[in-house]
């Protein structure tokens, strides 16, 4: 009987409720008085247990000469139906659970990726940016060599389709005239500024919402930090550097020597 009780517990039939159900299985049909006597459970408690079992649709009730008797529904069918009802309840709850998961207390997370597929998945996450603004640090085009030009172009198309603007801080300058730069900036929803000559930030970085992505292309490793406090600090640092940096068409007094933009450069 203990094994049956353990199995019933997994179905949500526990304690006195399980005792009443098991006793009713033995008797096939019984009154509240009989069940109370055989289980040594108070009659009021037996009523509560029977009511719960009836709601689970595993126990039924009949009247005989004005007196109520209770019986177990076919265990094979009724217990199977109970499991199906629980599965359905879980499926219906999952979307709501996902909506509230972690909203009460959020713990920062860090995920590290050591392979190409993992690194590419980071860019898929950027497309979900809710702020519609992503901040980028770029040293060179080594990220394109690592992940592939085709992949990077497809990623940018998705970003533009989602109307996510890119603010890009770079350590190199395109030799474009103002007309060309304005055309590409508008086409790719991108505004670019160039770091002072003595300031170099090596990793490829993206900051958006409450997330910060850092990728070291040469070491082929990347990670994403999900923390509002950390992201806010990174945005503040980025914005300070942004405000002291110069646009593409600015003079080259404090910037590196311009290099002719390649097709890849124009896209990224």
Decide: helix, strand or coil at residue 129. Answer: coil
pLDDT of 267 > 60? The answer is no
Q: What pLDDT shows up at residue 263?
A: 45
Q: How far is CA 232 from CA 200, 209, 235, in A?
A: 21, 9, 5
How much is the pLDDT for 172?
62
User: What whole-number distance in Å separates Cα of residue 7 and Cα of residue 185?
Assistant: 65
- The pLDDT score that the predictor gives to residue 265 is 45
Q: What is the mean pLDDT of the chain?
A: 83
Which pLDDT score, from 0 to 100, does residue 240 have?
A: 93
Q: Which tens digit of pLDDT belongs to each residue from 109-154?
A: 999 999 999 999 999 899 999 999 999 998 777 888 899 989 998 9
Residue 35 has pLDDT above 60, yes or no: yes
Of 127, 172, 122, the residue nearest 146 (C-alpha):
122
pLDDT of residue 201: 78
- Angle CA(63)–CA(64)–CA(69) in degrees, nearest 5? 60
Average pLDDT (24-44) is 91
For the chain, give every domain's residue range: 2-100, 109-267
Q: Residue 35 phi/psi, 5° resolution?
A: -65, -40
Give the whole-number percent of the chain exceeding pLDDT 70: 84
Three-state SS at 222: strand
Alpha-helical (H) ranges within 101-163 are 116-126, 142-147, 149-161
Q: Which pLDDT score, from 0 to 100, does residue 248 have?
A: 56
Residue-wise over 170-191: b if at least 16 C-beta within 10 A, else e?
bbbbbebeeeebeebbeebbbb
pLDDT score, position 65? 84
pLDDT for res 186: 67
Give the Cβ contact number of residue 132 at 10 Å: 13
Lowest mean pLDDT segment, chosen from 4-18, 90-104, 131-145, 146-160: 90-104
DSSP, res 256: P
CATH number of 109-267: 3.30.870.10
First to last CA, the chain: 70
Distance (Å, whole) CA 66 – CA 128: 65
The closest of 121, 258, 242, 110 to 181, measured between CA atoms, is 258
2-100 with 109-267: one CATH topology? no
Give the pLDDT score at 104.
Answer: 62
Q: Which CATH number applies to 2-100?
A: 1.10.10.10
Share of the chain above pLDDT 90, in %: 43
pLDDT digits 0-9 by tens, 225-264: 999 999 999 999 999 999 988 775 443 333 333 344 444 4
For residue 3, pLDDT beyond 60: yes
Question: Using one digit for the tens of pLDDT, what is the confidence trace for 173-220?
Answer: 444 444 454 555 667 888 888 888 777 777 899 999 999 999 998 889
């Amino acid at each position: 009987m203990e094994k049956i009780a353990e199995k019933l517990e997994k179905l949500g039939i526990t304690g006195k409720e399980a005792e009443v159900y098991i006793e009713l299985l033995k008797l096939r049909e019984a009154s509240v008085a009989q069940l109370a006597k055989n289980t040594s459970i108070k009659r009021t408690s037996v009523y509560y247990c029977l009511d719960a079992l009836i709601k689970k649709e595993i126990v039924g009730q009949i009247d005989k000469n004005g007196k109520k008797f209770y019986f177990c529904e076919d265990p094979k069918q009724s217990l199977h139906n109970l499991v199906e009802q629980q599965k359905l309840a879980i499926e219906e709850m999952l979307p709501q659970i996902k909506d509230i998961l972690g909203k009460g207390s959020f713990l920062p997370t860090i995920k590290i990726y050591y392979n190409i597929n993992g690194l590419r998945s980071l860019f898929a996450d950027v497309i979900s940016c809710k702020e519609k603004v992503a901040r980028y640090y770029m040293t060179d085009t080594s990220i394109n060599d690592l992940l592939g030009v085709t992949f990077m172009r497809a990623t940018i198309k998705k970003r533009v389709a989602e109307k996510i603007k890119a603010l890009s801080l770079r350590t190199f300058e395109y030799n474009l005239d103002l007309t060309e730069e304005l055309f590409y900036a508008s086409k790719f929803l991108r505004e670019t500024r160039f770091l002072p000559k003595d300031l170099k930030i090596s990793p490829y970085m993206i900051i958006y919402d409450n997330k910060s992505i850092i990728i070291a292309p040469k070491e082929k490793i990347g990670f994403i930090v999900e923390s509002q406090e950390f992201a806010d600090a990174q945005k503040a640092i980025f914005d300070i550097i942004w405000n002291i940096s110069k646009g593409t068409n600015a003079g080259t007094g404090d910037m590196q020597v311009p290099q002719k933009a390649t097709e890849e450069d124009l896209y990224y």
